[in-house]
Structure 1
Amino acid sequence: MKFRLLPALLILLAMAVTIRLGFWQLDRAHQKEAIQARIERFESAAPQTVTKTPIAAQSIEYHRVRAYGRFMPERVVYLDNRPYRDQPGFYVVMPLQLADGGYVLVNRGWLPRNADVRTAMAPYTTPSGDMWIEGIARADASRAFELGQGGSAAHQSIRQNLDVAAYAAESGLSLQPFVIQQTNDSGDTLVRDWPAPTLGVERNYGYMFQWWAMAVAALGFGLYAARRAATKPI
């Protein structure tokens, strides 16, 4: 067969790129499987007590935790566009002042939105005094699609998203770099039917096969083109 240099190089380049992207998706799938195994292992582990001693978010995420302190309702943040069973609502995120002097953000639960006045919050209660909060450590209080930048958490209680580090800088609180997704009942009427973490491993495997199928298709096209060129009359 006669091969033309430029078309052959382009086909080889296409194959190299698509094969590499396939392996990248395979690596992402393996990473997510490791996270899933970690989540399942932590489900049966004893909860870790959170104090003012800093804990890296990467080392504690998805771990069961507990913290003892009192809520700071004056610094509440409502995360908008958090639906529950097709009903619009908010996540109620509030700092917890730990008994030893530290702080940690707590995603207390879901609150329905007022159908008539968006900024009018449905009634809920905040326990006073020190209490135990139990939950799951998460890197953030959930992320929703956002156009542009959110407002300042120090001056705006309703936000689309909340970055822990940014909130710590705005509020001046020495926060732990993660959020506790509360699971225990504190008699406040908030909903804590938390969705299970969706890692999307199946999508990564699907993309992997798609990239590798494109590599095979590029090879097949190259061989077909070369055969046509070889049998073409001069």
Structure 2
Amino acid sequence: MNSLFNALVAKRIVATVSALLVMAIGCAAGYWQLSRASTKIALATNLLARQQMPILNANDRAWTLTEASERRMTARGHYLPDAAVWLDNRPRPFPAGASGNSAQAGFYLMMPFRLEGGDEVLWVNRGWAPRNQDNRETLPPVETPVGALNIEGIVFAHPGKVYELGSGNASPVLNRPRIEQNLNLDGEAKLHGWTQSPFILRLEESGIQDGLLREWPPLTTGVDRHYAYAFQWFALAFAGFVFWLVSGLRQYKRQGFVNED
């Protein structure tokens, strides 16, 4: 037994440490992927539970993010299309089970919505539209309802963020739509000098032919991918152990330790 230990470990310190490192990295990364999947499932479950709560009305009073986050909300007012912000580099959303080119680049159309009966503004994610492949500055044609209307959606802290170099446009032009990487709610409030809700409303309306797509994917999107990645990492750790063991046994046999025992 001592001879076997010497052959596998004592005389192969570098190989043993390397194998332990590979196994540690593989197991750690695998567990991390599993935790990511569990987190997504928990978030989706929490979101579904909050959506079952009574629907809030944005016109009733000024709601806080804590009160309204991930809740369904209705609002009555009118859009302010001249202050719209097109969020760039957003992939096309697909609901569960749908197929298509999810790598297609496009925009989220963020448009301020002035609530009826007051001066408060609510930012609305109206949906996704494809980007012009020839000219990024050419905005997609969409239709915006004129006058007062009722809308309904789900409250989120922000429409999602992408990596952005620098701090964006330091002096944006007012009263015209613009393209940005991310939406800064506090910055928009200061820029326009208006009072606004501390969250955004993602529209859930479907079947409206306005040039925008609102088939939002569930929060559990990607869970299967996390499980696949976890399997790959665990397989790497197992392969590292097997390689270390098999190479050690071969060396053990070559040195004739079996016959000595």
Query: What band does the TM-score fall into relative to the shorter chain?
Result: 0.7 to 0.9
Gaps of 5+ in 1: none
Q: Distance in 1 between matches of 2:23 and 2:105?
A: 46
Q: Distance in 1 between matches of 2:169 and 2:73?
A: 30
Alignment correspondent of 1:140: 158
User: Is residue 202 from structure 1 mapped to residue 221 from structure 2 by the alignment?
Assistant: no
> Any idea what the Cα deviations from partners look like across 1:76-97, whole Å, max 9, x if unmatched?
2234566698798654321122
Report the TM-score when normalising by structure 1: 0.76
Alignment correspondent of 1:175: 196
Say which SS state the counterpart of residue 112 (structure 2) adopts: strand
> Which of 8, 22, 30 is 2:16 aligned to?
8
1:52 corresponds to which letter in structure 2?
Answer: A
Q: Distance in 2 between matches of 1:214 and 1:125?
A: 52
Residue 19 of structure 1 deviates from its aligned partner by: 0.7
Deviates more, 1:112-121 or 1:27-36: 112-121
Alignment correspondent of 1:158: 178
1:183 corresponds to which letter in structure 2?
Answer: E
Gaps of 5+ in 2: 94-99, 257-261
> Any idea what the Cα deviations from partners look like across 1:95-147, whole Å, max 9, x if unmatched?
12234443221122456778998536636243324x43211223433567877
> Which of 100, 113, 124 is 1:106 aligned to?
124
| Identity within the alignment, % | 30
> Any idea what the Cα deviations from partners look like across 1:3-37, whole Å, max 9, x if unmatched?
22232122112211211111111111111111222
Say which SS state the counterpart of residue 122 (structure 1) adopts: coil
User: What do you get for the CA RMSD once the two structures are aligned?
Assistant: 3.6
Assess, with a 3 A threshold, how the Cα gap between structure 1 residues 225 and 90 changes in structure 2: closer, same or farther. closer
Alignment correspondent of 2:73: 65
Contact 2:79 2:144 in 1 (8 A): no
Greater radius of gyration (CA): 2
Residue 68 of structure 1 deviates from its aligned partner by: 3.2
> Which of 79, 82, 93 is 1:74 aligned to?
82
- Runs ≥4 residues deviating over 6 A: 84-89, 112-117, 144-149
Matches within 5 A, 1:18-57: 18-50=26-58, 51-56=61-66
Say which SS state the counterpart of residue 65 (structure 2) adopts: coil
